[in-house]
């Protein structure tokens, strides 16, 4: 994957039909998804439980774009290899997941996968000051992680803009996740975000049998972000 800052839309399959992931993934890709975002939750770091490595491995053959795995788990280091082997293309860990995020990023890089670091809304940007050179992406959470369908937290726009300045020319994506829809997409894109995760705003109103709705939703977010 060559680096550029064009807007990418990464639907979160947290909002998909849990009984039909293969078809859901194929539907969003056919309708223009750039990446497939997989939210891994452990019921401890966040108050919800989702996908272990075997589930992610089962998604893999259906993904032809790029599988972006967001780990909301603590501790995280012990599971990195398993998610890498399951077929993640990018593994993102939270800076709050433990005392050694630097070691975590080294461990992700050691698997040969792209490495991301995520910040909760309450975490200051300074937490990534000394981590950026180990990162392919920084994820600025625009909701408190754990659930889809929450309200966008506006204070994070300033964090995105300051992060964009910190990154400068370095080939590091800025991802946003939580409450992204055609209303909030232009705000984060203008501040400097280039990878937009969206769950409810992509899957809303559609289904595998009405997948053109996914396409309309993806195009509406992309158009709003590229205005």
Pairing of strands 114-119, 137-141: parallel
Is 210 within 8 Å of 175 (Cβ atoms)?
no
Which of 34, 136, 177, 194 is labelled catalytic? 177
Interaction between residue 42 and Zn ion (CB under 5 A): no
Q: Is 62 annotated as a binding residue?
A: no
Residue 47, both tokens: 């108050």
Judged by CB under 5 A, the number of residues near Zn ion is 3
Footprint of Zn ion on 53-72 (CB under 5 A): 70
Residue 194 to residue 9: CA distance in whole angstroms: 9
How far apart are CB 209 and Zn ion at their closest, in Å?
26
Report helix, strand or coil for 22.
helix
188 vs 191 by CB, closer to ligand DX5: 188
- Residues in contact with ligand DX5 by CB under 6 A are 12, 14-15, 37, 39, 70, 143, 145-150, 177-180, 197-201
Residue 37, both tokens: 């975002």
Which of 39, 42, 136, 194 is labelled catalytic? 39
* Residue among 114, 134, 109, 98 nearest 10 (CA): 114
Q: Which residue is nearest to Zn ion (CB)?
A: 70
Across the beta sheet with 195-198, the strand order is 8-11, 195-198, 173-177, 137-141, 114-119, 90-94, 67-72, 36-41
93 vs 112 by CB, closer to ligand DX5: 93
Q: Is 200 annotated as a binding residue?
A: yes
Q: Is 15 annotated as a binding residue?
A: no
Footprint of Zn ion on 162-191 (CB under 5 A): 177
Residue 212 to residue 30: CA distance in whole angstroms: 9
177 is catalytic: yes
Q: Is 100 annotated as a binding residue?
A: no
Residue 92, both tokens: 């993102």
136 is catalytic: no
Interaction between residue 114 and Zn ion (CB under 5 A): no
- As to burial, measured by CB atoms within 10 angstroms (0-12 exposed, 13-18 middle, 19+ buried), residue 1 is exposed
92 vs 104 by CB, closer to ligand DX5: 92
Q: Is 148 annotated as a binding residue?
A: yes
How far apart are CB 169 and Zn ion at their closest, in Å?
27
Q: Which residues are annotated as a binding site for a divalent metal cation?
A: 37, 39, 70, 177
Residues identified as active-site: 39, 177
Contacting residues toward Zn ion, per CB under 5 A: 39, 70, 177
């Amino acid at each position: 994957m060559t680096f550029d800052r064009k807007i990418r839309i990464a639907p979160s399959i947290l909002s998909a039909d849990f009984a039909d992931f293969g078809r859901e993934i194929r539907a969003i890709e056919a309708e223009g998804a750039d990446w497939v975002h997989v939210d891994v939750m452990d019921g401890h770091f966040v108050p919800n439980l989702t996908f272990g490595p075997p589930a992610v491995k089962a998604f893999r053959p259906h993904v032809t774009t790029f599988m972006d795995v967001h780990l909301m788990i603590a501790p995280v280091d012990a599971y990195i290899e398993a998610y890498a082997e399951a077929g993640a293309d990018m593994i993102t860990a939270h800076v709050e997941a433990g005392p050694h995020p630097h070691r975590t990023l080294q461990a992700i890089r050691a698997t040969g996968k792209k490495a991301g670091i995520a910040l909760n809304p309450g975490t200051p940007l300074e937490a990534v000051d000394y981590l950026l050179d180990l990162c392919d992406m920084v994820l600025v959470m625009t909701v408190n992680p754990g659930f889809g369908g929450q309200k966008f937290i506006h204070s994070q726009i300033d964090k995105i803009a300051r992060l964009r300045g910190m990154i400068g020319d370095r080939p590091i994506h800025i991802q946003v996740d939580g409450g992204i829809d055609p209303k909030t997409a232009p705000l984060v894109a203008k501040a400097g975000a280039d990878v937009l995760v969206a769950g409810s705003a992509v899957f809303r109103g559609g289904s595998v049998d009405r997948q053109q709705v996914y396409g309309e939703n993806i195009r509406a977010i992309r158009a709003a972000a590229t205005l």
